[in-house]
Chains A and B, each alone.
Chain A
């Protein structure tokens, strides 16, 4: 194992941050516990493969998974005209996080049998915790992230079959585990864009700045600095956030034509370009421009020493 290397100079190598050094060591130790051997790994992988092979749903899930892994496939699949329209249409949607598999136990259950079965169930499902309901029927339920229905069902049935020789009858049920998200259409196809939506009508510049700042903080940006200015029929929004190494700068200049002086809300996508870290500036610029184009935005992009500045110009007609 490579984890016991020592430093030539005897220092902790963390620039004086000993807590981090010790925490890394603790993480090494913690993750080395209960390591499954290769045969267990292959057994589980084979089970997953089998479940995938026997189910058309499995094939569908694989496709969906591939699309969600590569959001731009999905983006590209949407006709650009529709995409531009939908870009600024917030929608609510429900997404499936995985499956909940539950096992109902009937038969002769001795007093201490349930905790033992619950432990075994938790281990078999590979999850940190399960739900246990004890009543006329004892039910164990586990949420399996990222699993297809077929996979979850196969895992549940495999566990139930292990109980049969012990005289315990178990019935398996699988239901989707979902969550409801409010976002815009791009959040569905690729969560690498973080979207802001701010009502400006009837609000002062300072109020808009404060609102944008709060949203940026909620989205996880550090130290956001926001400027919002109105100049005639043009509004300008400037954003600067992050630390010295991951600073993000974005400017939005908007000219509203018509609308009887009504200001539509500002809607802006802040992309996560962290996967471009370490690439040469010209490659970063090209990739950023490509991604912005794919999203239907005309933008001026500047990259200097890995720092990206995006300026979007868009005219809104009402």
Chain B
């Protein structure tokens, strides 16, 4: 009966949300420091979108409109999260979210990698984090992200390039980067004239990504 009542009230919204539910939820999780936090952000976005649905003029634009709502909430939370810099990092890591693999060691390695990526992404300004997650992890095009972030395509490119540069710098600080001739030269190359070339392919969509790291 409760389901029927929900269906009656939320039916039209569910029909719009269903095709993108899983992907948008994954985006929310990847933007946040933990899956629980991501789920909470997503629920809030669902609620906000549901309340604002009457303002959506063209239902065919629901996808980009919903993502814009999600990203707006994400930025709001990021601003509020400023003071979390002073909270010990261990408090922010979802201990209960540890994945359990068939091979315990591999599972632990995978958990550490996911945690490291999440930690590095958390160090980016919110708009850059969004651009990198949407482009490099989710695989959205620059045009799609521009609509979601309500900025120009060139602004999105700048955000992606700057975000990547910071991520690489962060990984180098952690001793995970390649030995380059000069860190600054690498960063400058990624952030300036060669930006469009650097953007030709997203980071992290390699099919060989499951190889073990021996360092």
Contact = CB atoms under 8 A, between A and B. Distances in A.
Interface residues of B, number: 100
Contact of A126 (B6, B21, B36): B36
B203 A128 contact: no
Interface in B65-108: 73, 75-77, 79-80, 82-83, 85, 93-97, 99
B178 interface: yes
B208 interface: yes
Interface string A3-19: 11111110111111111
Interface stretch (A29-37, A105-113, A203-211, A230-238): A29-37
B39 A128 contact: no
B35 A31 contact: yes
A202 interface: no
B196 interface: no
A6 B139 CA distance: 11
A232 B24 CA distance: 60
A120 to B, nearest CB: 13
Among B47, B156, B167, the most chain A Cβ lie within 10 Å of the Cβ of: B47
Interface string A49-79: 1000000000000000100111100000000
A48 B21 CA distance: 18
B80 A191 contact: yes
Contact of A145 (B40, B111, B114, B154): B40
Contacts of B184: 244
A28 B118 CA distance: 10
B55 interface: no
B176 A29 contact: no
Interface in B1-38: 3, 6, 9-10, 13-14, 17-18, 21-23, 25-26, 29-30, 34-38
30 contacts: A7-B201, A13-B205, A14-B164, A19-B113, A19-B213, A20-B117, A20-B120, A21-B203, A23-B120, A24-B205, A25-B204, A27-B30, A27-B113, A27-B114, A27-B137, A29-B114, A30-B97, A30-B114, A31-B38, A35-B22, A38-B18, A38-B21, A42-B6, A70-B76, A126-B40, A245-B187, A246-B125, A274-B128, A278-B158, A306-B158
Interface of B: 3, 6, 9-10, 13-14, 17-18, 21-23, 25-26, 29-30, 34-40, 42-44, 46-47, 50-51, 73, 75-77, 79-80, 82-83, 85, 93-97, 99, 110-111, 113-114, 116-118, 120, 125-128, 136-140, 151-152, 154-159, 162, 164-169, 171, 176-178, 184, 186-188, 190-191, 198, 201-211, 213, 215
Identify the 9 closest CB pairs spanning chains A and B, nearest first. A24-B204, A278-B155, A25-B209, A274-B125, A69-B76, A2-B139, A26-B113, A128-B94, A23-B117
